[in-house]
């Protein structure tokens, strides 16, 4: 989930849980909501990992210790201490602690329901929790939060904020139901095609709660399709001057007319598969092994004796429109060592 949405969700939860009449030991409403905003954004402070210069340090440790459930009480204590200083000691740390803890918790929950994966037990475990029911930037999700905040402000009512949270939970529930429905369509494909599937997944996609990416993993690669749960006709092919959003929307097809394709892990060219396997096992791609849930060969580029073998993660692919995480093992010739490169397109 994007940081702004996290911050707003913390603010909404702070408003919904505010006491009707704060007593002397509790925060006034404005301060409470500001703490919720700041604490809701805090876990994403791990963006500083990008300063390491190693992309995999960030990708593999983002949503790590700052998102850890065992460590949340400690982070809430830290934020409470900083808030005491920010408010010039007008309130005791106990006044900040509860709202900070709640805002941190809703941040972690908001990340768990996306496909990226959240290390909720870091640093004690590398397990990544992911329920890919919500796309990482979901305007419907964010819109419900904003509507709840506006309603609470207009009517000066915590009941409106609570209604906003209820609608938010209901939206997530509907998306989980959509995810199950999309998964059943993928399972039907597996059964009708007689595929020896190792894994079947449905991942939420941008623009619409009805857009889903279907992935079926077998021994050699992935069957994939882009599904629209509401369409009953194939979308028209976008014109050459169509905008990015129109081209994205046109990817998703009705269940009755899905366009499945196959992406081999090491490519379709048998002559190149040995090279792709060698590159994939190169130590420079160890970080990619940890990060990628659905890795596959993107392409192989040659220039003279040099070669770059590029891999990507199908979680973040929008066909040929966008893929932000493409990494490769490159070398100047067959005797040279592999080096890590990142492809930006």
pLDDT tens profile 250-263: 999 999 999 999 99
State yes or no: pLDDT of 321 exceeds 90. no
Is 146 a residue whose pLDDT tops 80?
yes
> Is the model more confident about 209 or about 21?
209
Instruction: Answer yes or no: do 50 and 113 share one domain.
Output: yes
| Residue 23: per-residue pLDDT | 77
Residue 141 lies in a domain: no
| In a domain? residue 84 | yes
**Calpha distance 297→229 (Å, rounded):** 29
**168 φ, ψ to 5°?**
-65, -45
Question: What pLDDT, on the 0 to 100 scale, is given for residue 126?
Answer: 92
- Whole-angstrom distance, CA of residue 279 vs CA of residue 329: 6
Cβ–Cβ < 8 Å for 112, 131: yes
Residues 11 and 83 placed together within one structural domain of the fold: yes
In a domain, 162, yes or no: no
Stretch 296-305: mean pLDDT, rounded? 94
Number of domains the chain is built from: 3
Q: Kindly state whether residues 302 and 318 are assigned to the same domain.
A: yes
**74 or 345, higher pLDDT:** 74
Residue 104 and residue 51 share a domain: yes
Are 78 and 189 found together in one domain? no
Inside any domain, residue 222: yes
Q: 223 and 215 in contact (C-beta within 8 Å)?
A: yes
Domain co-membership, 248 together with 320: no
Do residues 24 and 122 both lie within one domain? yes
Sheet with 326-331: list strands edge to edge.
295-303, 306-313, 326-331, 339-343
Q: Which domain, by its residues, includes 221?
A: 182-264
More confident residue, 244 or 185: 185
Same domain, 334 and 243: no
Pairing of strands 295-303, 261-264: unpaired
Q: What share of the chain in percent tops pLDDT 90?
A: 85
Instruction: Verify that 229 and 275 share a domain, yes or no.
Output: no
**How far apart (Å, rounded) are the C-alpha atoms in residues 5 and 143?**
9
In terms of C-beta density within 10 A (0-12 exposed, 13-18 middle, 19 or more buried), how is residue 194 classed? exposed
CA dist 238 and 242 (Å) reads: 6
143 in a structural domain: no
This prediction's pTM: 0.93
Q: Is the residue at 226 inside a domain?
A: yes
Task: Identify whether residues 245 and 302 lie together within a single domain.
Answer: no
- Whether residue 18 is found in the same domain as residue 100: yes
Beta strands at 211-217 and 326-331: parallel, antiparallel or unpaired: unpaired
């Amino acid at each position: 989930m994007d940081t702004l949405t996290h911050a707003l969700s913390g603010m909404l939860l702070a408003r919904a849980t505010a006491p009707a009449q704060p007593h002397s030991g509790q925060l006034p409403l404005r301060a409470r909501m500001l703490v919720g905003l700041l604490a809701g954004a805090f876990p994403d402070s791990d963006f500083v990992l990008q300063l390491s210069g190693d992309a995999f340090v960030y990708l593999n440790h983002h949503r790590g210790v700052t998102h850890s459930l065992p460590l949340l009480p400690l982070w809430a204590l830290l934020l409470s201490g900083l808030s005491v200083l920010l408010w010039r000691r007008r309130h005791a740390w106990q006044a900040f602690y509860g709202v900070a803890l709640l805002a941190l918790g809703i941040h972690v929950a908001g990340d768990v329901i996306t496909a990226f994966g959240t290390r909720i037990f870091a640093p004690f475990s590398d397990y990544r929790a992911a329920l890919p029911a919500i796309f990482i930037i979901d305007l419907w999700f964010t819109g419900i939060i904003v509507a709840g905040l506006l309603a609470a402000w207009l009517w000066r009512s915590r009941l409106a904020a609570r209604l906003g949270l209820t609608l938010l939970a209901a939206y997530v529930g509907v998306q989980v139901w959509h995810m199950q429905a999309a998964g059943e369509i993928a399972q039907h494909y597996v059964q009708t095609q007689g595929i020896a599937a190792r894994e079947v997944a449905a991942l939420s996609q941008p623009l619409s709660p009805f857009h889903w990416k279907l992935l079926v993993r077998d021994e050699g690669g992935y069957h994939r399709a882009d599904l629209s749960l509401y369409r009953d006709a194939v979308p028209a092919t976008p014109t050459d001057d169509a905008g990015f959003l129109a081209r994205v929307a046109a990817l998703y097809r009705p269940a009755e007319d899905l366009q499945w394709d196959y992406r081999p892990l090491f490519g379709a060219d048998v002559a190149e598969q040995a090279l792709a396997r060698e590159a994939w096992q190169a130590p420079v791609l160890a970080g990619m092994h940890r990060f990628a849930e659905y890795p596959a060969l993107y392409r192989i580029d040659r220039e003279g004796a040099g070669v770059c073998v590029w891999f990507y993660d199908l979680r973040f692919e929008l066909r040929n429109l966008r893929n932000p995480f493409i990494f490769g093992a490159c070398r100047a010739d067959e005797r040279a060592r592999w080096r890590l490169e990142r492809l930006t397109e």
